[in-house]
Amino acid sequence: MPIAAPSRLLLGSGPSPVPERVLAALAQPTVGHLDPWFGGLMEETAAALRRVMRTEHRATLPISGTGSAGMDAMVANLVDPGDRVVCGVHGLFGERMADALGRQGADVVRVEAEWGRAIPVERLIAAVDGSTSALFVVHGETSTGVCQPLDGLADACRAHDALLLIDCVTSLSGQRLELDAWGVDAAFSGTQKCLNAPPGLAPFTLGERAAERVLHRTTKNRSWYFDLSLVLAYWNAPEGAPRAYHHTAPINLIYALREALAIVEEEGLDARWARHARAHEALRSALAELGLERLAPDGEALYPLLAVRLPEDLADEAGIRRALLLDDGIEISGGLGPLAGRTWRIGVMGVGAEIAPQERLVRALAPRLGRDPEPAVDALRAGWAA
């Protein structure tokens, strides 16, 4: 019997809901990775990615792996053993990068903040010195729902010939992100958050200063699979030259990404960012009515991911999430690390950042918290009407 996946409303930390249009693109017939038609689709996809990432970097492409593959690719291509790398750590994904950098043999300088807060940029800037090879920060910290300001980081990096590297897995297309204007040298993202495509690709971009390091390194990249000097001969073949086979691209996932990017561009990035902000604030008001207060302080919120504190007296939060999933068909995520059992993480991503799915969540959640849903629904509607 063919598999039949259950219908879930995905309002957790990702994957986010994948629209029918994207699923239909995904299921288009597979073609060859060197097919000229597919080459055209690659060009379109890379061009759309550049627009959505607000960058003109030619080296912009989806890495053939999930968001975390983007992290591994960033480290393998841009960090050498012994490099001094300043790494912002204010949640799980910063911790993870610090781990990955350590595995690469980098001299990791951690600049930390409490989980649930942004890192003061002055502290990051102060840590960058003449011996620094790169500064890495997580723009959208999915473990805490915090958006890290990047003000001044690019200037500090340029002053010391260091690269500015970011993780924008959860922020891409859901919160203002201007890679070129903000001077970001390389960034990785994921497809299964605000882009509403299935998981499996890591949008990635490399500016000129970063590409210089990749293409002129004196040691071979430790990873064959993620070696961008090889991957780019396939993605960025010179005009008129054939694409050089590296690995077989995940064809159908690229169909889906292309369609998901088209949906983003039909809405427009500015409108999309504004909608995510509105959806975030509306849901925040509604959840506050249910006794769930946002973890991030004003000015530090990651709009696509609303992390809320649980009431101290809430018994069995995992049981509530499980019932919500299995009985109501709605997925939300629990906390991670020191926030496990103390927070929930609710996705506000793409088609999930709309009033209808949010109202469904609020109505399902309220009785499980022993609350009347109506004041929360009123707050939600007021937020959307604002």
Closest separation in Å from C-beta 247 to a second copy: 4
Q: Which is nearer to a second copy, 131 or 248 (CB)?
A: 248
CB of 15 to a second copy, least distance (A): 5
Count residues binding a second copy (CB under 8 A).
73
- Which residue, 183 or 352, is less far from a second copy as judged by CB? 352
Residue numbers 188-207 binding a second copy by CB under 8 A: 190, 192, 198-200
The pairing of strands 202-206 and 59-63 is antiparallel
CB of 23 to a second copy, least distance (A): 4
Stretch that binds a second copy, among 130-138, 173-181, 247-255, 272-280 (CB under 8 A): 247-255
Residues 82-101 that bind a second copy (CB under 8 A): 96, 99-100
Q: Which of 2, 238, 299, 370 binds a second copy (CB under 8 A)?
A: 2
Does residue 323 bind a second copy (CB under 8 A)? no
**Taking each helix axis from N to C terminus, what angle separates 355-368 and 269-289, rounded to the nearest 10 degrees?**
20
261 binds a second copy (CB under 8 A): no
**Sheet of strand 293-294, all strands in order from the earlier edge strand to the far edge:** 293-294, 305-309, 343-347, 333-334
CB of 8 to a second copy, least distance (A): 5
End-to-end CA distance of the chain: 49
How far CA 380 is from CA of 174, 276, 321, in Å, comes to 19, 14, 21
Q: Is 357 in the site for a second copy (CB under 8 A)?
A: no
Among 50, 61, 72, 362, binds a second copy (CB under 8 A): 72
Contact between 376 and 287 under an 8 Å Cβ cutoff? The reply is yes
Half-sphere exposure of residue 152: CA atoms within 13 angstroms, side-chain side? 10
Of 120, 247, 311, 378, the residue at the interface with a second copy (CB under 8 A) is 247
Closest CB 30 distance from a second copy, rounded Å: 4
CB 11 within 8 A of CB 330: yes
Nearest residue (CB) to a second copy, 52 versus 128: 52
Q: Quick one: tokens of 248?
A: 């077989």
Sign of the alpha-carbon torsion through 84, 96, 89, 11: positive
Nearer to a second copy, 63 or 184 (CB): 63
Least distance between a second copy and beta carbon 24 (Å): 7
Q: Which stretch binds a second copy (CB under 8 A): 33-41, 157-165, 172-180, 298-306?
A: 33-41
CA–CA gap between residue 354 and residue 177 (Å, rounded): 21
Query: Which residues in 154-193 contact a second copy (CB under 8 A)?
Result: 190, 192
Q: Judged by CB under 8 A, does residue 250 bind a second copy?
A: yes
- CA 287 to CA 362: how far, in whole Å? 7
Residue 29 makes contact with a second copy by CB under 8 A: yes
Question: 3-state DSSP call for residue 125?
Answer: helix
Is 32 among the residues that bind a second copy (CB under 8 A)?
yes
109 contacts a second copy (rule: CB under 8 A): no
**Residue 55 neighbours by CB under 8 Å, 6+ apart:** 179, 180, 184, 205, 207
Residues numbered 134-153 forming contacts with a second copy, rule: CB under 8 A? none
Stretch in the footprint of a second copy (CB under 8 A) among 114-122, 218-226, 286-294, 298-306? 218-226
233 is an interface residue for a second copy by CB under 8 A = no
Gap between the Cα atoms of 71 and 98, Å rounded: 11
Residue nearer to a second copy on the CB measure, 7 or 218: 7
Tokens standing for 275? 């909608």
Residue with tokens 């950098």: 101
Q: Which of 59, 87, 90, 226 binds a second copy (CB under 8 A)?
A: 226
Helix H or strand E segment including 138: strand 132-138
CB 54 to a second copy: min, Å: 24
Per-position DSSP letters for 318-362, written without gaps between them:
HHHHHHHHHHH-EE-EE--GGGTTTEEEEE--GGGSSHHHHHHHH
Site for a second copy in 264-303 (CB under 8 A): none
Question: For residues 178 and 183, what is the distance between their CA atoms, to the nearest angstrom?
Answer: 8
